[in-house]
Chains A and B, each alone.
Chain A
Amino acid sequence: MKLKLERRVAPSQIMQYLSPLLAVGLTALTGLCMFIAMGKDPATAFYVFAVQPIENLYGVGELLIKASPLILIGLGLAVGFRANVWNIGAEGQLTVGVIFSGVVALHYGPQGGSWVLPAMVVAGAFGGMLWSAIPAFLRTRFNANEILTSLMLTYVAQLWLSYLIYGPWRDPNGFNFPQSEPLAPSALFPILIEGTRLNASVLITLAAVVFTWFILKRSFVGYQLQVVGLSEPAARYAGFNGRRAVWIAMLAGGVASGIAGVGEIAGPLGQLFPTASPGYGFAAIIVAFLGRLQPIGIVLGGLLISLLYLSGEAAQMTLNLPSAITGLFQGVLLFFLLGADILITYRIRVIPGTVKLKKVTA
């Protein structure tokens, strides 16, 4: 008897919803085994991982404020991935968004005015867009692969921000610590719920979800992107401009990342530091895939990854587990998610062993 993977006639709708649950279940199971092996009580561990981070309003606010950049960038990247344009440089585009909006915040923030914050968002979007335009240009003009160019530019962007914070943008009252002066109130997103850090930038993300859904599902541009992604010859035959698709794909990711960067400095950070994000640009790539490049899925994926970050901290605080547990669980969850997805397009069949014929004697 053995197991065989057999292609389904049509992708299973049920499994589309079940497979993430299966993956989470398997991850939880793995986790439980690990906890038992480490001598921790599984029930407490489960509570700490799944419930504790969000058991109060502050926790929920944290979940949302951490998920917001992940979702926003994930949406932008998903647009590109559909068109087979691999923007790996979202982290760098976020950083340049921080730089550009930082200029506005530091120069005009102290003067005040309700125009400062929107200007920052525009500047951040522009910065991210600019940084993603470089790989787009290099690909359309010189055929240079965007994976490499966008990735290399990430390092350049981080060094640029580091140069600014250690140098010209250093807070003159800051004892020469590498940080900018704190952002003026007019340069900060207003808090939505008292007692949390949830700020108005989540509204931008929400708008982006709706906008992206519309673009991808209902607009011709979205359709074009999808065709270009599936088959470039077909797209060309249909007259779709492959180059334009690359530009749109890259710029979408850049704008989203740039705005996410503004959300960080005008939000939970309130200041500029040599690094602006704990790797949101890379985590968002995972979120985009978790969400199967669909807006709703990306929202759920973003919330899940955000929860995992918070769980890791709770685990350290309450269970004394090492900090490395977060990365470990994220990886394991991803493995199970990717593995379980096969059940959507394939089913498992049990093939019975061969029957032994007995000689019949007369």
Chain B
Amino acid sequence: MDTLSAIVIATLVAGTPLVYAGLGELVTEKSGMLNLGVEGMMLFGAVTAFAVTHATHNLWLGVLFAAFAGAVLAAIFALLTLTLKANQVASGLALAIFGAGASAFLGKPYVGVALAREPSELAAWVSGIPLIGSTLVLLHPLIYLSWAAFGGVFWFLYSTRAGLVLRAVGESPASAHSIGYPVNTVRLYAVLFGGAMAGIAGAYLAVVYTSLWVEGMTAGRGWIALSLVVFATWRPERVLLGAYLFGGMTTVQLFAQGAGIPVPPEMMSALPYLATIVVLVLISRNPTLVQLNAPASLGKLFHGEA
């Protein structure tokens, strides 16, 4: 395989957990909720997926349970912020810490254990497809599903009534409430969705990509995903692009090292972060553009009747 294709595939792979977590957090934030606990939900999802896949040898079951696990953690966040009116920033951070600790605790028996890789019948079938089969099979189904998820989120937010309601709730919960929309219920669903997606992102890392569990293996990707949503000015298509931009820069720096380019590796490793800042600055220079898409009530408490 030539270098360019390798870089493209590596970029897609590196960006996929960010796509899932980013899209999930996007929906959450669009409803006005700021959930900083993405890293914790991803880790919790990762360890759950690993444990389940290890026990059942069924990868998809693992992913499913991971989504559920992420949603459970998100439910704690919802309980704290929607029912108990706690501060969202602190609650999200607490979730991140709890998720990291709980996943480390539960994952103890699995550190360094690898999942058995079973040959996939689906992959064999796909590679049999004439012409495009051999290309299609290079990417894992979860990558294709992430594109489907993007399409789904986009369509939901901008072409359905429910999506409109969600965006309205995010813009002005007071107005939405006065029209009769169940603000807290909408937000609950948005938060749960964000948790489920973060769980899938973690599952992808642990069960699809590396087949390993290591404590803290998300290595900050949850925080990157959070930043991505802001970077994307809360537009799903920009979340997708941003995820691949970030993944791409990480990939390129590794390839550059391997090609012997004489730049200090730390500087190469810093490139993705610097690039993100630069692009953010370029995008944010038009405040109207940002404001048009940022949910106005993001992070603020809504004092409605239940």
User: Which residues from chain A sit less than 8 Å from chain B, CB to CB?
Assistant: 5, 7, 81, 86, 138, 142-145, 147-149, 151-153, 155-156, 159-160, 162-163, 166-167, 282, 285-286, 289, 322-332, 334-335, 338-339, 341-342, 345-346
Which residue on A lies nearest to B291, using beta carbons?
A: A143
In contact, B94 and A331 (Cβ under 8 angstroms): yes
**Which of B220, B284, B306 is the most central at the interface, judged by chain A CB atoms within 10 Å of its CB?**
B284
In contact, A332 and B98 (Cβ under 8 angstroms): yes
Other contacts beyond A148-B277, A328-B105, A338-B91: 8, CB < 8 A: A138-B277, A160-B270, A162-B266, A324-B102, A331-B95, A338-B90, A339-B86, A341-B84
In contact, B270 and A155 (Cβ under 8 angstroms): yes
| CB-defined contacts of B220 to chain A, threshold 8 Å | 155
In contact, B86 and A338 (Cβ under 8 angstroms): yes
| CB-defined contacts of B180 to chain A, threshold 8 Å | none
In contact, B230 and A335 (Cβ under 8 angstroms): no
The minimal Cβ–Cβ distance linking B287 to chain A, given in whole angstroms, is 5
Complex Cα distance, B83 from A341, in Å, reads 12
In contact, B101 and A147 (Cβ under 8 angstroms): no
Query: Given that A285-B93, A327-B98, A328-B105 are contacting pairs, would A143 and B84 also be in contact in the complex, using a CB cutoff of 8 Å?
Result: no
Complex Cα distance, B287 from A145, in Å, reads 11
**Which of B86, B95, B303 is the most central at the interface, judged by chain A CB atoms within 10 Å of its CB?**
B86
The minimal Cβ–Cβ distance linking B201 to chain A, given in whole angstroms, is 18
| CB-defined contacts of B40 to chain A, threshold 8 Å | 331
Complex Cα distance, B78 from A338, in Å, reads 12
Which residue on B lies nearest to A323, using beta carbons?
A: B104
Which residue on B lies nearest to A332, using beta carbons?
A: B98
Count of chain B residues with Cβ under 8 Å from any Cβ of A?
48
Pick the residue among B98, B230, B231, B290 that contacts A328 (CB under 8 A). B98
CB interface residues, B 78-99, toward A, < 8 Å: 79-80, 83-87, 89-91, 93-95, 97-99
In contact, B101 and A86 (Cβ under 8 angstroms): no
Whether B9 is near chain A, meaning CB under 8 Å from some CB there, is: no
CB interface residues, B 182-197, toward A, < 8 Å: none
Which residue on A lies nearest to B290, using beta carbons?
A: A143
Q: What are 7 inter-chain pairs, A to B, with CB distance below 8 A?
A: A159-B267, A324-B102, A328-B104, A335-B91, A338-B94, A339-B84, A341-B84
Complex Cα distance, B215 from A326, in Å, reads 14
| CB-defined contacts of A330 to chain B, threshold 8 Å | 97-98, 101
Complex Cα distance, B79 from A81, in Å, reads 23
In contact, A159 and B285 (Cβ under 8 angstroms): no
Whether B273 is near chain A, meaning CB under 8 Å from some CB there, is: yes
Which residue on A lies nearest to B285, using beta carbons?
A: A142
Pick the residue among B83, B89, B215, B230 that contacts A145 (CB under 8 A). B230
Pick the residue among B90, B285, B290 that contacts A334 (CB under 8 A). B90
Query: Given that A144-B284, A327-B104, A330-B97 are contacting pairs, would A153 and B86 also be in contact in the complex, using a CB cutoff of 8 Å?
Result: no
Whether B108 is near chain A, meaning CB under 8 Å from some CB there, is: yes
| CB-defined contacts of A156 to chain B, threshold 8 Å | 270, 273-274
The minimal Cβ–Cβ distance linking B40 to chain A, given in whole angstroms, is 8
| CB-defined contacts of A143 to chain B, threshold 8 Å | 284-285, 287, 290
Whether B100 is near chain A, meaning CB under 8 Å from some CB there, is: yes
In contact, A153 and B273 (Cβ under 8 angstroms): yes
Which residue on B lies nearest to A81, using beta carbons?
A: B89
The minimal Cβ–Cβ distance linking B297 to chain A, given in whole angstroms, is 13
1/0 contact trace for B102-121 toward A, CB 8 Å?
10110010000000000000
Pick the residue among A151, A163, A167, A329 that contacts B227 (CB under 8 A). A151
Which residue on A lies nearest to B100, using beta carbons?
A: A327
The minimal Cβ–Cβ distance linking B192 to chain A, given in whole angstroms, is 17
Complex Cα distance, B265 from A162, in Å, reads 10
Which residue on B lies nearest to A34, using beta carbons?
A: B105
Complex Cα distance, B263 from A163, in Å, reads 11
The minimal Cβ–Cβ distance linking B193 to chain A, given in whole angstroms, is 21
In contact, B276 and A148 (Cβ under 8 angstroms): yes
Complex Cα distance, B274 from A163, in Å, reads 16
Query: Given that A145-B230, A148-B280, A149-B277 are contacting pairs, would A342 and B101 also be in contact in the complex, using a CB cutoff of 8 Å?
Result: no
Complex Cα distance, B280 from A145, in Å, reads 8
Query: Given that A325-B105, A330-B97 are contacting pairs, would A335 and B276 also be in contact in the complex, using a CB cutoff of 8 Å?
Result: no
In contact, A147 and B94 (Cβ under 8 angstroms): no
In contact, A334 and B280 (Cβ under 8 angstroms): no
In contact, A331 and B102 (Cβ under 8 angstroms): yes
Pick the residue among A86, A324, A335 that contacts B104 (CB under 8 A). A324
**Which of A145, A147, A338, A346 is the most central at the interface, judged by chain B CB atoms within 10 Å of its CB?**
A338
CB interface residues, B 254-300, toward A, < 8 Å: 264, 266-267, 269-270, 273-274, 276-277, 280-281, 284-285, 287, 290
